[in-house]
Amino acid sequence: MRLLIQRVSKASVSVKEQTISRIGKGLLILLGVGHGDGISQVDFLAEKTAHLRIFEDEQGKTNLSVLDVGGEAIVVSQFTLYADTRKGRRPSFTEAALPEVAEPLVLRFIEALRDHGVPVQGGQFGEHMQVEIHNDGPLTIWLEK
């Protein structure tokens, strides 16, 4: 499982010109599911994400988590995080899990973040989405398990 976490001042997700998710300060999380991923990856990464200290304290040091700052999160499924570009010019996505495997794990990740106290919204699995990101910093973190 791969996460691309962006600290944002605000973010939103739209499908067919309708906004389906919108947050202020928090995290925009792009989540890719690979072959062999399961609940253990979901639970580990949700706990890590909820407590990841990437927000600044009063001294400007990254000592605070999304929970500490009262932030929110949007989770967007993105199988393209498993793109393999080693051969040719067209990415291969054979390492990404099939939708019937990936979707339940994405939903479980959202629930696991909620269980840790993070208010979470989601994208819409399998849809073409417009994601508006106001990356704060910019600060982007790659997590994988």
62-71 burial string, b = 16+ CB within 10 Å, else e? Answer: eebbbeeeeb
Q: What is the CATH number of the domain that holds 75?
A: 3.50.80.10
Q: Give the pLDDT confidence of 56-73 residue by residue, as tens digits.
A: 999 999 999 999 999 999
- Residues with Cβ within 8 Å of 4's Cβ and at least 6 positions away in sequence, in order, are 29, 30, 78, 81, 140, 141, 142
Classify the phi-psi angles of 69: left when phi > 0, otherwise alpha if psi is within -120 to 50, otherwise beta. alpha
The dihedral through the CA atoms of 20, 119, 11, 82 has a sign that is negative
Active site (catalytic) residues: 78-80
Instruction: Calculate the alpha carbon distances from 102 to 56, 76, 112 in Å.
Output: 33, 12, 15
Q: 66-120: per-residue pLDDT in tens?
A: 999 999 999 999 999 999 999 999 999 999 999 999 999 999 999 999 999 999 9
Question: How many domains does the chain contain in total?
Answer: 1
Domain containing 126 equals: 2-144
In the chain, the amino acid numbered 27 is L
